[in-house]
Amino acid sequence: MSASIQGTHLVGGISRGWTPVRPIHRHNPPFLRAGRCLSQALRCQGASTAAETIAKARVVRDGGTRDASMHHLETERFSALDRVSILSEALPYLQRFRGKTVVIKYGGAAMKDPTLKAGVVADLVLLATVGIRPVLVHGGGPEINIWLTKLGIEPNFKNGLRVTDEATMDVVEMVLGGRVNKSLVTLIQQSGGRAVGLCGKDSDIILARQMVEKEIGFVGEVTGVRSDLIKTLVADDYIPVVASVASNGAGQALNVNADTAAGEIAAALQAEKLILMTDVAGILHDRNDPSSIYRVLTLRGCAELVGQGIIAGGMIPKVDCCIRSLSQGVRATHIIDGRQKHSLLMELLTDEGVGTMITG
């Protein structure tokens, strides 16, 4: 395997290997315990309590074979020196990302499952609480299909793109900018966060040009992002929630890919990270084997995997989105499984993460 795929990369002073590793499965009890422990740590008011809980999360994740009750007893017996040491280990993440903007594209199963949705929202609020600045960009394809069907309009796709005639565009704008967007804002606020819902068409935040294929209708390619409004909200400690509907600059709404919209927003904000929440574990060496996940890839490594046919199908546009973001100044991009509870926290705030990180 090429050196651009295999090796070691330092992230915040912490090593993360590039070789395929044993995955932390969605139903893996150690992973779930680790996620819960990390979530609990960030909710704690006392630093020492948080340090103990984070340590518990990491021990469970790294080993996963010892009884959870034993970890509880061990954390109760931690000395002051232990607490300081553990907090010191956790600090690089919190220090490095405090005040940094992280753009998260949200969609897939994590959006359809109410329990997963509540968990993602809670994790967003936790990140904001510890000083990280999340920006949420969302799609909502399944919800659009539901409402099209209710209105007697048959959902239609061509080459993976939604055929968006005038009636369909009205539904897309209504569902994404209204129902889906405002439900997310409400959930964030019910979880103790402060959120503002936006549509990419608002103030021409997301600009796009209509694609030349006339038969697909009002589908756009993102051409630019006006980020001033988002920056203002982030600076005032709000979580912007942005629906992936763009403007052509003359008042016409365009349906755009949510991954692309998130990537361009991340670039415009010069975000620390772009995180794409998907329905797969990450980039896999064998798409039928979740244990073959690549933890970290460089741009060169991605190109090699595309050439080998390992990165293929629907993963190609996601990787292209990551590469474009990196080329425009985003520090790192991540592809993670939104079906895993607390995958967002685990990817950002633990040594190994749970998905694939792509770096420049």
What pLDDT does 21 receive? 39
Q: pTM of the entire structure? A: 0.80
pLDDT confidence bin for 49, thresholds 50/70/90: very low
Residue 127, CA atoms < 13 Å, CB-side half-sphere: 32
* Within-domain flag for 286: yes
CA angle 120, 294, 100 (to 5 degrees): 45
CB-CB contact of 234 with 240 (8 Å): yes
Question: What share of the chain in percent tops pLDDT 90?
Answer: 63
* Within-domain flag for 290: yes
Which of 247, 245, 275 lies closest to 135 in space, CA to CA? Answer: 275
What pLDDT does 26 receive? 38
Q: Is the pLDDT of residue 84 over 90?
A: no
* Within-domain flag for 1: no
What pLDDT does 110 receive? 82
Mean pLDDT of 14-29: 40
* Within-domain flag for 223: yes
Q: What is the CATH number of the domain that holds 321?
A: 3.40.1160.10
* Within-domain flag for 300: yes
Query: What average pLDDT is seen over the chain?
Result: 82
* Within-domain flag for 196: yes
What pLDDT does 44 receive? 52
Q: What domain range includes position 112?
A: 99-359
More confident site: 65 or 336: 336
What are the b/e assignments for 255-287, b being 16+ CB within 10 Å?
bbbbbbbbbbbbbbbebbbbbbbbebbbbbbee
pLDDT confidence bin for 37, thresholds 50/70/90: low
Q: What is the count of structural domains for the chain?
A: 1
- Each residue's pLDDT tens digit, 230-259: 999 999 999 999 999 999 999 999 999 999
* Within-domain flag for 253: yes
pLDDT confidence bin for 75, thresholds 50/70/90: very low
* Within-domain flag for 84: no
More confident site: 196 or 39: 196
- Each residue's pLDDT tens digit, 181-209: 999 999 999 999 999 999 999 999 999 99
